[in-house]
Amino acid sequence: MKNFTKVAIICILLAPTPALTESRSIESKALVEDTSKAEPSEDKVEFTNLSADLWMHTSYKNVEPWGLILTNGLIFEREDHSLLVDTAWNDDQTAQIINWASEELGKPIKASVHTHAHSDKMGGMGALHAKGIETYASSMSNEFAPKRGLLPAKNNLNLDTIAKQIDWHGLRVMYPGGGHTQDNIVVYDELSRVVFGGCLIRPGNSRSLGFNGDADLEYWSQAANNVATAFPKAKIVVPSHGKPGGPEVLTNTIEIASPAK
């Protein structure tokens, strides 16, 4: 399909069998490699296979003076539907995600969860609501959304206590405390051992916290540490604004977010 860019991955498997080789899997140290020849664009959403039945969607926005800024979210395949973590930057990009899940995976998005009230996570809510998709966010995010020019989710998640976890369609959703924003939450999949850190977790070995206009700078490091403590078996960590990595991505965020830094 002309509007979609597929992104390949390198899979590192121990003692692979033909069945495992054909499966979509990735080990903790195998980072996503973009082998696409297409240039990143605000008009195109990229889809990267992270593990069996798990995809990362990536969209771009031109933000002056930095140029194109990427943001990631996830798509979890289920038997006859899929689950979405975060929208793209806007409704048009999010509509691409909706169509891709339905047409390419054959599994329409049934429900979505949103990790905080910024446009890179909730900017496409209108597209989801237009399709009747059930949307979820923390009650704090739904309170903040209209104040930030965003549509709130249809449903509230009761995540008002630091380190509290709830089950959401088989995924673990946790409020680690304020960091990038007061309302940031994270999502963990026990099967694939993937944690989606959203904007709370900084990519790779970044030494910058990025945008911190709504941040809790005093607690950010502890919030990241809460994620590492809650999900010690995580193999893959997906940040919003960079490539997936391993647990070292959490460690790096804990370090650079330390108030002493």
pLDDT digits (tens, 9 = 90+) for 168-182: 999 999 999 999 999
Return the pLDDT at 97: 98
pLDDT digits (tens, 9 = 90+) for 218-236: 999 999 999 999 999 999 9
When the pLDDT of each residue in the chain is averaged and rounded to a whole number, the result is 88
Q: Indicate whether 161 pLDDT > 90.
A: yes
Q: Are 75 and 88 in contact (CB under 8 A)?
A: no
What token pair was written down for 239? 């940040």
The rounded distance, in Å, linking the Cα atoms of 247 and 233 is: 9
Mean pLDDT to the nearest integer, 108-122 = 98
pLDDT digits (tens, 9 = 90+) for 63-91: 888 899 999 999 999 999 999 999 999 99
The tokens 């650079």 sit on which residue? 256
Q: Which domains does the chain have, with CATH numbers?
A: 4-256 (3.60.15.10)
Q: Are 85 and 73 in contact (CB under 8 A)?
A: yes
Mean pLDDT to the nearest integer, 16-26 = 31
Helix (H, G, I), strand (E, B) or coil at 45: strand
Q: What percent of the chain has pLDDT over 70?
A: 85
Mean pLDDT to the nearest integer, 183-212 = 96
Question: In which band, very low, low, confident or very high, does the pLDDT at 100 lie, cut at 50, 70 and 90?
Answer: very high
Q: Indicate whether 22 pLDDT > 50.
A: no
pTM, rounded to two decimals: 0.86
- Strand ranges (DSSP E) for 122-247? 134-138, 155-157, 164-168, 171-175, 186-189, 194-198, 236-239
Question: What backbone phi and psi angles, to 5 degrees, belong to 12?
Answer: -105, 115
Helices marked H in 123-247 — which ranges? 125-130, 139-147, 220-230
Question: In which band, very low, low, confident or very high, does the pLDDT at 261 lie, cut at 50, 70 and 90?
Answer: low
Q: Kindly report the number of other CB atoms within 10 A of residue 154's CB atom.
A: 17
What token pair was written down for 103? 């047409």
Mean pLDDT to the nearest integer, 253-260 = 93
The rounded Cα 136 to chain-centroid distance in angstroms is 14
Question: In which band, very low, low, confident or very high, does the pLDDT at 39 lie, cut at 50, 70 and 90?
Answer: confident
Select from 136, 100, 92 the least CA-distant residue to 116: 136
